[in-house]
Amino acid sequence: MRHFDYRDGNMFAEDVPLSKIAAEVGTPVYVYSTATFTRHYRVFADSFADTRALIAYSVKANSNIAVLATLAQQGAGADVVSGGELKRALMAGIPADKIVFSGVGKTRIEMREALTAGIRVFNVESLAELRVLNAVAVEMGKVAPVAFRVNPDVTAGGHAKISTGKKENKFGIAWSQAESTYAEAADLPGIQIVGVDVHIGSQISDLAPFEAAILKVNGLIARLRKAGHTISSFDIGGGLGIPYGNNATVPPPPSEYAELVKRLTADLDVEMIFEPGRMIAGNSGVLLSEVLYVKRGEDRDFLIIDAAMNDLLRPALYDAYHDIEPVKQGNLDQLETYDVVGPICESGDTFTKGREMAALESGDLIALHSAGAYGAAQASQYNTRPLVPEVLVNGADYAVIRARPTVEDILKTESMPEWLKTPLT
Ligand code: LLP
């Protein structure tokens, strides 16, 4: 069931017309559906209901605290990668013991914050980081629970920029160094080894790389246990892809993923940890935008919209496909072909080229679909365009969950040094 769909020719988010949100909040604006977040979380969680599993939603995908609180109510934990994300997760009511801390470059300050909060586990990615974490923990009189993120050297992921599990990637402990790293950790007073972690990539559209990674890790777990380490959790990261509507990649449903994972890990006697991000948030949001101008070029027509690459970076950065639909259902007998572009002064500010859609004109609203993950979270203020506001719909209600900053808000953080305060003579 789609929660962004037409009723009598007008697109709704759940029971709220998108045109109403555009009129009241302005465009561009991200619009999220509570029912979709909840359904995606439930589909994932329910398929692991018969196993010991922690679902640690990957906060980076969509980190708005109202979104986190929606998922927290469903029982979600969180996968965080910075002190900022940790703070968000705690504010949203996610218990510290359901928070895992990932990332290759944790700072001492972030380690301290996480140790103070009492998080479930640090996913450590290098010996250098391990030694610093040990020192910080000892200094604080604490013991840090640690899993090592190992790099299984498998190919996965929808795009080179989001593939992480190959040995040339910066992520994880090299496979050949995994056992010696555990051995070193075992001797450190501020470290308690609790598990193993992998994350092989994102927008993964077939199960084979997951299978390859799990089989490798299973072997590693056996060797680590033989060497005397206690391995009680296996975090397999996130990465399950979602349909973006272009049929090129139709990923397996979560139920098939769950079946595979359960089959391969049934005898391990571990708690499984998952870090899904896109799978939960991706299709829970749209970017709602207004057509500013239709520009008839010599050999192509441009739809110039009020959203730009700073608001939704994915097409510019990864050549990502997003479905685009008019909010007022158009006449499908009157198709036109457009390049859909934003106002930013770069050719890369293009959402799609040569897309066929019902004819549109200035003032029409469009929805860019599958924008709930890595949309608002990756936005910037390039060209001094204020961050896009975020709206959360819940049935017939909606609330602005991040306001649009004013240009004054942006300028407030900037200041003139003394030497520029006197006018030039
Ligand atoms: N865990 C770790 C350690 C990660 O690095 C990531 C994503 C996830 C979990 C969540 O992965 P997911 O389930 O969402 O695939 N900005 C890119 C995606 C970057 C993914 C980064 N890491 C995009 O828009 O496609």
pTM over 0.80: yes
Q: What is the pLDDT of residues 358-378, one digit of tens each?
A: 999 999 999 999 999 999 999
> Was 93 annotated as part of a binding site?
no
For a ligand 1 pocket test, name from 37, 60, 169 the mutation site with the most ligand atoms within 8 angstroms of its C-beta: 60
Single out the residue of 53, 419, 75, 63 nearest to residue 270, CA to CA. 53
Answer yes or no: is 330 within a domain.
yes
Distance 278 CA to ligand 1 centre (A): 7
Answer yes or no: is 86 within a domain.
yes
> Was 277 annotated as part of a binding site?
yes
- Contact between 237 and 57 under an 8 Å Cβ cutoff? The reply is no
Query: Which one-letter DSSP state was computed for residue 320?
Result: -
For the chain, what is the domain count? 2
Ligand 1 atom, smallest distance to 314 CA: 24
Answer yes or no: is 18 within a domain.
yes
Place of tokens 């193993």: 196
- Within 8 A by CB and 6+ apart from 92, the residues are 65, 66, 68, 69, 71, 72
Distance 200 CA to ligand 1 centre (A): 9
DSSP assignments along 413-424, one per residue: T----GGGTSPP
Q: What is the pLDDT of residues 48-92, one digit of tens each?
A: 999 999 999 999 999 999 999 999 999 999 999 999 999 999 999
Ligand 1 contact via 235 beta carbon (within 6 Å)? no
Nearest residue by C-alpha to atom 23 in ligand 1:
374
User: Which of 223, 252, 281 delimits the end of a domain?
Assistant: 281
- Within 8 A by CB and 6+ apart from 424, the residues are none
Single out the residue of 373, 405, 148 nearest to residue 282, CA to CA. 373
Both 371 and 395 in one domain: the answer is yes
Encode burial over 331-347: b for 16+ CB neighbours within 10 A, e otherwise.
Answer: eeeeeeebbbbbbbeee
Domain region containing 329: 4-31+282-412
Taking the C-alpha atoms of residue 203 and residue 243, their distance in angstroms, rounded to an integer, is: 9
116-130, 205-219, 246-260, 262-276: which range is least confident on average? 246-260
Domain of 343, CATH number, reads 2.40.37.10
Both 173 and 201 in one domain: the answer is yes
Both 315 and 265 in one domain: the answer is no
Q: What is the pLDDT of residues 324-342, one digit of tens each?
A: 999 999 888 889 999 999 9
Residue 78 phi, psi dihedral angles, 5° rounding: -140, 145
Nearest residue by C-alpha to atom 8 in ligand 1:
238
pLDDT of residue 162: 62
Answer yes or no: is 11 within a domain.
yes
Whether ipTM > 0.95 holds is yes
- Share above pLDDT 70 across residues of the chain, in percent, rounded to a whole number: 97
Q: Would you say residue 387 has pLDDT above 70?
A: yes
Both 144 and 259 in one domain: the answer is yes
How do 285-296 and 10-13 pair as beta strands?
A: unpaired
User: Which of 247, 281, 315 delimits the end of a domain?
Assistant: 281
Answer yes or no: is 423 within a domain.
no
List, by residue number, the catalytic residues. 345
> Which pLDDT band, with edges at 50, 70 and 90, does 250 fall under?
confident
- Within 8 A by CB and 6+ apart from 305, the residues are 28, 289, 290, 291, 292, 340, 341, 342, 351, 366
pLDDT of residue 246: 79
- Contact between 305 and 289 under an 8 Å Cβ cutoff? The reply is yes
Binning the chain into helix, strand and coil, the percentages to the nearest 5 are: 35, 25, 40
Distance 293 CA to ligand 1 centre (A): 34
Ligand 1 contact via 103 beta carbon (within 6 Å)? no
Q: What is the pLDDT of residues 147-158, one digit of tens each?
A: 999 999 997 765
Both 45 and 22 in one domain: the answer is no
Both 402 and 345 in one domain: the answer is yes
